[in-house]
Amino acid sequence: MPRIEDCEVHLNQEVAEDHYRMVVHAPGIAGEARAGQFCMIEVQEGLYPFLRRPMSFERIYPDSLSILYKVEGKGTRMMSRFSPGQTISIQGPLGKPFPLDPHHDRHILVAGGIGVAPFPALAEAIIGTLGRTPEVILAARSENHLLCEDEFHEMGCTVHLATDDGSAGDKAFASEVLRRLNPGPGAMVYCCGPMVMMKATQRVCSDLGLPCLASLEAEMACGDGVCLGCVVPTVTDREAGSSVRVCHDGPVFDAGLIDWDGV
């Protein structure tokens, strides 16, 4: 059950330009959180911004959580000013986690930029629950924007790097690296990143006949399925119309369900 918890900030550190890692003491939320779920963080000074900001769980520890985030606008800029010892209000865990299916012999995580945020927790869950070590395709604009490479190596993951400018790894898009890996029929692909990157990843998976799970982002107001502020279109008709709520039905979806031309 989601709860609202007052959490002490333990650490809030810049890890790359405009990218931060925050660790908070949150025993209630951490005790229930699973990889792929998210939380809503209050970033108010006075009344603004009114809405909490959604953030994935980068790592889930017994009594704390880490959040990896990119400064996009006012709210995340305010988050970057949180200091250790400060108490902040966090609501969570929200949404559905990544399903962990033991029938796959290969798990490939495809991350674009800050889209890597939920994947350290997922890698840990795949290793701990399924006894498999995932491979990671880590893609970003340039070397300076590749995040979590050391963390994945420490977990024993094989990491394939790709950058738009060729400053590290292959000068290629993440989806091209995935196609080149040519995973066999037993593979499961998980992706998170810019919509265009997830759309390309889904296309490769569809060509190769592979299942693909995508963790989506949308601007959110309630975070709890009520306001319909976060709907994205789907390719199938559902009872409530041909759309899903990212916060309540997701944020993790079968990528084949999403109408990528409509998002």
Judged by the rule CB under 6 A, the positions of this chain that interact with ligand FAD are 38, 49, 53-56, 67-70, 72-76, 114, 117, 217-220, 246, 251
Find the binder of ligand FES among 22, 51, 110, 220 (CB under 6 A). 220
> Of 11-19, 107-115, 205-213, 242-250, which segment contacts ligand FES by CB under 6 A?
242-250
Q: Which residue's structure tokens are 């998002």?
A: 263
Query: Binding to ligand FES by residue 226, rule CB under 6 A?
Result: yes
Find the binder of ligand FES among 247, 252, 255, 258 (CB under 6 A). 247
d(CA 68, CA 118): 8
Beta carbon nearer to ligand FAD, 22 or 187: 22
Give the number of C-alpha atoms closer than 13 A to the C-alpha of residue 261, restricted to the C-beta side: 2
Total residues in contact with ligand FES, by rule CB under 6 A: 13
Nearest to 68 by CA among 117, 101, 110, 113: 117
Beta carbon nearer to ligand FAD, 120 or 169: 120
Find the binder of ligand FES among 221, 233, 254, 256 (CB under 6 A). 221
> Of 24-32, 72-80, 156-164, 216-224, which segment contacts ligand FES by CB under 6 A?
216-224
Question: Residues 40, 223: contact at Cβ < 8 Å?
Answer: yes
Query: Binding to ligand FES by residue 227, rule CB under 6 A?
Result: yes
Q: Is 131 left (phi over 0), alpha (psi -120 to 50) or beta?
A: left
Q: Which residue's structure tokens are 């692909």?
A: 189
CA separation, residue 70 to residues 1, 78, 134 (Å): 27, 12, 24
Phi and psi at residue 232, to the nearest 5°: -130, 150
DSSP state of 130: I
CB of 163 to ligand FAD, least distance (A): 19
The secondary element (H helix, E strand) that includes residue 152 is helix 149-154
Find the binder of ligand FES among 4, 228, 257, 263 (CB under 6 A). 228
CB of 260 to ligand FAD, least distance (A): 16
> Of 21-29, 81-89, 186-194, 240-248, which segment contacts ligand FES by CB under 6 A?
240-248
Take residue 208 and report the two structure tokens written for it.
Answer: 């190769």
Beta carbon nearer to ligand FES, 56 or 66: 56
Q: Which residue's structure tokens are 């890996």?
A: 181
DSSP state of 258: B
The interface partner of residue 16, options being ligand FES, ligand FAD, none and the CB cut-off 5 to 8 Å by kind, is: none
d(CA 218, CA 210): 25
Give the residue nearest to ligand FAD (CB). Answer: 73
Query: Binding to ligand FES by residue 230, rule CB under 6 A?
Result: yes
Amino acid code (one letter) for 168: A
Binding site for ligand FES (CB under 6 A): 220-223, 225-230, 245, 247-248
